[in-house]
């Protein structure tokens, strides 16, 4: 049953990720991938902090939303391929911006999501 929750969430996350790419469109810069990854970091930092307080009651919801949906919505493999393309095209400065925003921004946004959950639900550090 747990596998079903991961698969269903993964399906929806992949569809939303595809739709985001179609809506933003392809350009010289991989904006859709960066937005998906950064928003996913913020959301997952918040959601996993919140769901960790549920003492196992949210196991299926965490699998559906955290592992399935967010796991397929965000994509490290596409980030890696985008970086190869930017380097191959000689866009070193765009590549440096993209990688630093993705890595440093992702870590920062995950931490902000974690802190927001603590403030929003008036919890101490777990």
The interaxial angle of helices 92-120 and 31-52, nearest 10 deg, is 20
Provide the 10 A C-beta neighbour count for residue 31. Answer: 16
Strand spans (E) along 21-65: none
Residue 74 is labelled as binding a ligand? yes
d(CA 50, CA 121): 8
Residue 78 is labelled as binding a ligand? no
The Cα angle at residue 54 between residues 49 and 56, in degrees rounded to 5: 110
Q: Are 68 and 8 in contact (CB under 8 A)?
A: yes
- Residue numbers in the known binding site are 71, 74
Q: Which residues are annotated as a binding site for Na(+)?
A: 71, 74
């Amino acid at each position: 049953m747990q596998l079903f929750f991961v698969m269903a969430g993964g399906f929806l996350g992949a569809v939303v990720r595809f739709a985001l790419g179609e809506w933003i469109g392809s350009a010289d810069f991989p904006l859709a991938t960066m937005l998906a990854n950064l928003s996913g970091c913020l959301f997952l930092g918040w959601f996993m902090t919140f769901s960790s307080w549920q003492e196992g009651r949210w196991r299926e919801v965490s699998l559906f939303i955290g592992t399935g949906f967010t796991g397929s919505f965000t994509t490290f493999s596409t980030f890696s391929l985008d970086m190869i393309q930017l380097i191959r095209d000689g866009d070193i400065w765009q590549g440096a911006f993209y990688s630093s925003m993705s890595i440093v921004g992702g870590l920062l946004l995950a931490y902000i999501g974690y802190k927001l959950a603590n403030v929003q639900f008036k919890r101490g550090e777990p």
